[in-house]
Amino acid sequence: MKYMLRTVMAAAVLGTMSLGAQAAEDRANVFYYSLNDTFVNALSADMRDSAEAAGLKLSEYDATDDLAKQLTQVQTALAQNKNPLIVNPVDALNGEAVLRNARRAKVPVIFFNRKPLDKVLSSYQDAWYVGTSADMAGEYQAQILIDYLSSHPQADKNGNGQIEYVLIKGEATHQDTQQRTSSFIRTMMNSGIAGEPLYTGNADWSYSKAVNMMRELLFTHKLSEIEAIICNNDAMALGVLNELQAHGYNNGSGNFIPLIGIDALPMAVEAVSRNQMIGTVFNDRRSIAEICVKIAKAYCEGTEITEDLVNLPINNRQIEVPYVKYTITK
Ligand code: BGC
């Protein structure tokens, strides 16, 4: 399938330009749900680098986690130009509203990281989604824990044959929260290692909410009862680590609770290499950014979007970037 946006844009531009003027630059509008989110912020740097390398100019918008603000930003951009939209929606429903606006304006929209519903995505032929196989991340976390337990049987502190763990989750409505959590639990169950959640709660991907959650948890539980802590992302794992260290745990002194995150943020990678966390899972933000840029660029140039272009399978205009386990306990 060829996308002829470039031709249409060029014709429109020529109509208003004098002969000999330069052709329009390739441009895209990028919308982030919140640049306060550590992972999304790091991804935005990759997006800028990828765009620069590909010769795509970006206009960037930060919705600061505000649904209405994001929709206004999208509508304002659509009123100004027909550049492809690259959108990290504030939530799945907002994704639907963004898609309706893009479809009305006949502008392509590439969603990433937060997934609108499948039926919404499939309702517009120029809507794409670039995300990850979130199931894989939960499965990798379970494997990291299982490997650790097999070489550290003393991690079952009370020797009752099961692992009492704490599970700290991301935003309840986010597909990554749901899939990472259920695949972690499923993989633990299938492994035959009995796991018992002592506590689960949503800290919404946030470092400071995870710190507060740990503080509250310590009103009702002792650290000596907790045999593992699993977090849906690294920002929350780092919040937990901060709190553990404030109580003399996970700092090399001997008191230790196996702790696992997801994303492979630089600080988490460092914590793993210092044996303060047992692992994380690399959420390949660089590839996510590159693929979004490649699709937007292809629309600008009117070229075909193929599996060769994105280097991954494409299913109904959806692309899943694989995760990679990061651990030193391998
Ligand atoms: C990342 C989280 C991030 C969230 C934002 C997830 O894929 O792992 O760190 O906060 O996306 O949507």
Atom of ligand 1 nearest to the CA of 234: 9
The domain of 64 spans 2-132+284-322
Using only C-alpha atoms, the chain has a radius of gyration, in whole angstroms, of: 22
Residues 6+ apart with CB under 8 A from 45: none
Give the H/E segment covering residue 47: helix 38-54
Same domain, 218 and 179: yes
Is residue 327 situated within a structural domain?
Answer: no
Q: What is the pTM of this model?
A: 0.91
Distance in Å, CA 174 to ligand 1 centroid? 9
Residue 299 CA from chain centroid, whole number: 24
- Per-residue pLDDT tens digits of the chain, which is 330 residues long: 334 444 334 433 433 333 444 457 999 999 999 999 999 999 999 999 999 999 999 999 999 999 999 999 999 999 999 999 999 999 988 899 999 999 999 999 999 999 999 999 999 999 999 999 999 999 999 999 999 999 999 999 999 989 999 999 999 999 999 999 999 999 999 998 888 899 999 999 999 999 999 999 999 999 999 999 999 999 999 999 999 999 999 998 889 999 999 999 999 999 999 999 999 999 999 999 999 999 999 999 999 999 999 999 999 999 999 999 999 854
- The torsion angles phi and psi of 19, rounded to 5 degrees, stand at -60, 145
Distance in Å, CA 22 to ligand 1 centroid? 40
CATH of the domain at 33: 3.40.50.2300
Token pair of 15 as six digits:
């109509």
In DSSP notation, 247-274 reads TT-SSSSS----EE-SB--HHHHHHHHT
Is residue 88 situated within a structural domain?
Answer: yes
Is residue 217 situated within a structural domain?
Answer: yes
Residues with CB under 6 A from ligand 1: 37, 39-40, 113-114, 174, 176, 205, 233, 235, 262-263, 283
Comparing CA positions, the residue from 141, 31, 152 lying closest to residue 83 is: 31
Same domain, 274 and 147: yes
3-state secondary structure of 17: coil
**Structural domain count, the chain:** 2
